[in-house]
Chains A and B, each alone.
Chain A
Amino acid sequence: MKTLGRYISPGWFLVAPFLLLVAAFYLGPILNILWLSFTDPVPGVGNYRELYESDALVRIIWTTVRVCIVTTVFSVLLGYVIAYAMVHAHENKRNLMLGFVLVSFWISILVRTFSWLMLLGRNGLVNNAFETIGIISEPIAFMRNELGVLIGMVHYMVPYAVLPLLVNMQTLDMRVMNASRNLGASGTQTFWRIYLPLTTPGLVASTLLVFILSLGFYVTPAVLGGGKVLMVAEYIYVQLLVTLQWGTAAMLAALMLFGVLGLLYVMSRFMKLSTVFGGTAS
């Protein structure tokens, strides 16, 4: 013990059980997936070569990325507006708004997805109402297409977009905004030149969080896309349980994993940058 302790800080012994746990339940499966992606059904890079050879696969990945980017843009924009309203609202209103944001975390994604169908489906509330009033003669196709997927995903993601922005905006010193106005800047100038740059760390965090979470979406595209919007997560599911091509599934999983790790790396660079100008004056 003594001799070991000389080389290893005793703190490691305390966290060792948890490290083992993490290794066994996270690292192990991940390595297993990597292993599978190179060995199933035959050893080699065959699974990865599919990326070049299969149009379907490329289309699925492209759909996923496109849907995720659009979802992220709208979620973060909405999240920015909501967070801004929350920070600048009166305290009791702010708590009410925060309550709404948090409640949406507790409602199952299934419930939220199906309620969109009831609301915007062919025979949903909105289409029925419009038809009854006579605004439209044919139901509007909100659902069972990419638009439906986007509506459902943005709805689910907005609270995630709000939180990092909220934290960021709450720490801002409002005197800085006053100083900008005092120096003759209009509200618009103050927003673009002061407020937006100072909330960039929150925007980056929010964007990456939403984008990464969106990549793994399964339920919403499956239900609201009506089978027309096939995204990576659903495709992996099909490969695993229907066509039993575990190698392809593992390859896609590995691809997403490294895509996310790459993004996180970019984020860590950004966050470091943010600390450079994070040391505020006051």
Chain B
Amino acid sequence: MASPVPTQGNLNIRDLSKKFGDFLAVDKVNLKIEKGEFLTLLGPSGSGKTTLLMMIAGFLDITAGDIDLNGASIANIPAEKRNFGMVFQGYALFPHMTVRENIGYALSVRKRPASEIKARVDEMLDLVQLQDFTDRKPGQLSGGQQQRVALARALSFAPPVLLLDEPLGALDKKLRVEVQDQLKDIHDRIGTTFIYVTHDQEEALSMSDRIVIMRDGRTEQVGTPLELYEKPESRFVASFLGKSNFLEQPDGLYALRPEKIDICAAGTGAGPARLTGTVRSITYFGSMLRVMVDIAGGTEVEVDVDSWRINTPLSKGQKVDLTWSDAASVKLARG
């Protein structure tokens, strides 16, 4: 399709806020989103992810701040003129239309010729592997198939930015992992900028170029999955992305991932123990063991060990030494 809009866009969100009455749902968010990037908004329910996305899509008025697309403000452009693709929470497919009509809708309302619509819909059907379901209504499709129709529909007019609001929320765990791979693959192939909302940290870690951690309407931390996981700046980020122990040290609070701790029977370690304690419980997860250790002084530390590395079996009530490298613990900039 000869598209008047670039199929990749960069977005610049500046001091964006949204108030519902007195309630500040989005609070001075600043974000630069690069062309072709896969950016994830991750945060607990109610943290303002959907509200932020709806402002980008143009369904909610902006209370304060601005949004630029490729350098020009889009704050006053109505939703139907923004040309952003969107996969809605719950998909919002047109229940009275077939798969083909759903996917062709955007071009059809743009009064494109029938031949062009057909060609584009076929292309989209190929992209999401739905060639065999063209004449079905959404009600006759499984959740995963509906999700793919929603994706194809949102991409049909080659939008510069695709917004996805918890698109996998309605799918079961196994299907979700499969669709994650497909989504990522589609992103890599078409190169559209994706803004992806989820509250699922595994989804965010495995798919994103960058993650924005949202909390109470603010951006808590922005970075690549690796940066966020390895260098969390706050207790919130460290415990929201993966698991973490928190150690109070004289110079501040440190985060320590459970899998970065070595555990051994008291006195059997190579070097001096950083902490000593007693095993409170051991849970076996196949590839790994989760050991909860009571430290003298009342704190509790979680240690995740690869099963194969345990040569002398641990038992409940046993005294153990805990060690870790200096790089393993991260000093938190904020509580």
Contacts and interface: CB of A to CB of B under 8 A. Distances in A.
Given A179-B86, A182-B84, A194-B94, A281 B138 contact: yes
Contacts of B156: 183
Nearest to A276: B137
Which DSSP category, helix, strand, loop or mixed, fits chain A's interface? helix
A180 interface: yes
B57 interface: yes
Interface stretch (B103-111, B215-223, B231-239, B323-331): B103-111
A175 B91 CA distance: 8
A280 to B, nearest CB: 4
B242 interface: no
A189 interface: yes
B96 A197 contact: yes
Contact of A277 (B90, B91, B139): B139
B97 to A, nearest CB: 8
A216 to B, nearest CB: 33
B80 A184 contact: yes
Given A185-B80, A185-B105, A280 B139 contact: yes
Nearest to B95: A280
A279 interface: yes
Interface in A179-197: 179-186, 189, 193-194, 197
Given A180-B105, A279-B137, A281-B146, A186 B80 contact: yes
Interface string B89-122: 1111111100000000110011000000000000
A183 B137 contact: no
B93 A281 contact: yes
Interface residues of B, number: 32
B150 to A, nearest CB: 8
Given A189-B109, A276-B137, A175 B146 contact: no
Given A184-B83, A185-B105, A185-B109, A178 B137 contact: no
A57 B177 CA distance: 72
B83 A278 contact: no
B90 A281 contact: yes
Contacts of A161: none
A184 B94 CA distance: 14
Contacts of B140: 279
Contacts, number: 89
Q: Residue among A175, A185, A198 with the most chain B CB within 10 A?
A: A175
B90 A175 contact: yes
B269 to A, nearest CB: 56
B44 to A, nearest CB: 22
A186 B109 CA distance: 8
A78 interface: no
B153 interface: yes
B10 to A, nearest CB: 20
A176 B93 contact: yes
A179 B89 CA distance: 11
Contacts of A277: 95-96, 137, 139
A281 B106 CA distance: 18
A181 B83 CA distance: 10
Contact of A184 (B90, B95, B109, B137): B109
Contacts of B78: 181
25 contacts: A175-B88, A175-B90, A176-B95, A178-B92, A180-B94, A181-B78, A182-B57, A182-B79, A182-B154, A183-B80, A183-B109, A183-B156, A184-B83, A184-B109, A184-B157, A185-B109, A193-B109, A198-B95, A278-B139, A279-B137, A280-B95, A281-B92, A281-B138, A282-B91, A282-B92
Interface of B: 57, 59, 78-81, 83-86, 88-96, 105-106, 109-110, 137-140, 146, 153-154, 156-157
